[in-house]
Amino acid sequence: MRAFFCLQPYFISFARYLITHKKMRIAVVGATGLVGTVMLRLLAERSFPVTELIPVASEKSVGKEISFNGNLYKIHSMQQAIDKKPHIALFSAGGSVSLQWAEAFAHVGTFVIDNSSAWRMHADKKLIVPEINAHTITESDKVIANPNCSTIQMVLALYPLHVKYGINRIVVSTYQSITGTGVKAIKQMENERQGIKGEMAYAHQIDKNCIPQIDVFLENGYTKEEMKMVNETKKIIHDDSIHITATCVRVPVIGGHSESVNVEFKQDFDLDEVRRLLSTTKGIIVKDDIGKEVYPMPLIDAHERDEVYVGRIRRDESQANTLNMWIVADNLRKGAATNAIQIAEYLVDKNLIKA
């Protein structure tokens, strides 16, 4: 018996080796887009066990080649990718594409991790931030939704505080990078800085400007982006009683999204304990030393990193049990590609994929 317990760590290591060395067919739908490109880079960076890559893009790109891990791969059509029955399909090609094709992949046994808003609020689809609720994923969850980028970074920072103190109300204002719109927005800003007239991603100039509109306006006066933050937060935290209001603003920034968050708790809190809870939460880095002017910034701290950064942690002196904080993250990584790949890693690690 003693020998068994001595060898047990080796058995666990060997089992993990077998899990992570399966032959994995991975499709990336939207492989030539901004998020898809980051997904490919992260699959390589994180040594995900890809033995066959199946890049998918629009019909005009089918047959062309892209590079991954030193090899060239031909771009597939949707149906060609489905016929290959990938184990996982990472989707980042827009909501209409996801609605049309995600369940076709799921039908052949593929786990679809979708980065669009198409499935997020479907009652039978899981909305996952791995550090919070990956444990709810089962083998039958073939279409898994990736939350909105601005929602991910906020809930990751707020969840450990919600567990401890209970959240009553959230007021959030976002300062969102143009990279959240895509290549077209980056080109618009570059053109404006050079005085060149070109295609517009936004209805207004973005360079040297702020646009208080992300997505379309709804009947209640809020934008779809703002209501995504409201509804997705409640679903992820699994608490419909939380009151949430949001204002989402597009700013001429590359590197990540920033958020000013005011959160009212049901119980009082200690600031040192708040900092400790955040510092010990996986995926969060606290940068909060105002004496040295240390606080998170998108380009300086978050850009090309996977962590969520939190700073400017302080009491709201106008109201009891209320905290102010500043949250920053790379919207293309943790806000999109990294979160999706972490979900994929969970599927592999928990042996939910039958290769």
Which amino acid type is present at position 299?
A: L
Residue 16 has pLDDT above 50, yes or no: no
- CA-wise closest residue to 355 among 111, 136, 126: 111
Rounded to 5 degrees, what are φ and ψ at 26?
-120, 125
Copy the structure tokens of residue 33: 């887009």
As a whole number, mean pLDDT of residues 283-291 equals 98
Residue 205 has pLDDT above 70, yes or no: yes
State the pLDDT confidence band at 18, using cuts at 50, 70 and 90: very low
Kind of pairing between the strands at 257-265 and 322-329? antiparallel
pLDDT value of residue 5: 45
Cβ–Cβ under 8 Å, residues 45 and 19: no
Q: What is the CATH number of domain 2-118?
A: 3.40.50.720
| Per-residue model confidence as pLDDT tens digits over 108-127 | 999 999 999 999 999 999 99
Hey, which residues does 53 pair with through a beta bridge? 26
For a pLDDT cut of 90, what percent of the chain falls above it?
A: 93
For a pLDDT cut of 70, what percent of the chain falls above it?
A: 94
Q: Which residues contact 15 (CB under 8 A, 6 or more apart)?
A: none
Domain layout of the chain by residue ranges: 2-118, 150-331
Hey, which residues does 284 pair with through a beta bridge? 308
pLDDT value of residue 13: 43
pLDDT value of residue 214: 98
Tell me which of 12-16, 17-21, 221-225 is least confident: 12-16
Residue 14 has pLDDT above 90, yes or no: no
Q: Which CATH class is domain 150-331?
A: alpha beta
State the pLDDT confidence band at 23, using cuts at 50, 70 and 90: confident
Upper half-sphere CA count for residue 310 (Cβ side, 13 Å): 28
Residue 201 has pLDDT above 80, yes or no: yes
Residue 238 has pLDDT above 50, yes or no: yes
**Cα distance between residue 29 and residue 33, in whole Å:** 9
- CA-wise closest residue to 161 among 256, 237, 231: 237
As a whole number, mean pLDDT of residues 242-247 equals 98
Hey, which residues does 322 pair with through a beta bridge? 264
Active site residues: 149, 257
State the pLDDT confidence band at 354, using cuts at 50, 70 and 90: confident
* pLDDT, the chain, mean: 94
Cβ–Cβ under 8 Å, residues 114 and 105: no
| Segment 99-104 long-range contacts (CB within 8 Å, at least 24 positions apart) | 101/29, 102/143, 103/143, 104/78
State the pLDDT confidence band at 11, using cuts at 50, 70 and 90: very low
| Per-residue model confidence as pLDDT tens digits over 66-86 | 999 999 999 999 999 999 999
| Per-residue model confidence as pLDDT tens digits over 138-163 | 999 999 999 999 999 999 999 999 99
Using N-to-C axis directions, what is the helix angle for 338-349 and 34-45, rounded to 10°?
A: 40
Q: What is the pTM of this model?
A: 0.92
Other CB atoms within 10 A of residue 218 CB = 11
| Per-residue model confidence as pLDDT tens digits over 93-104 | 999 999 999 999
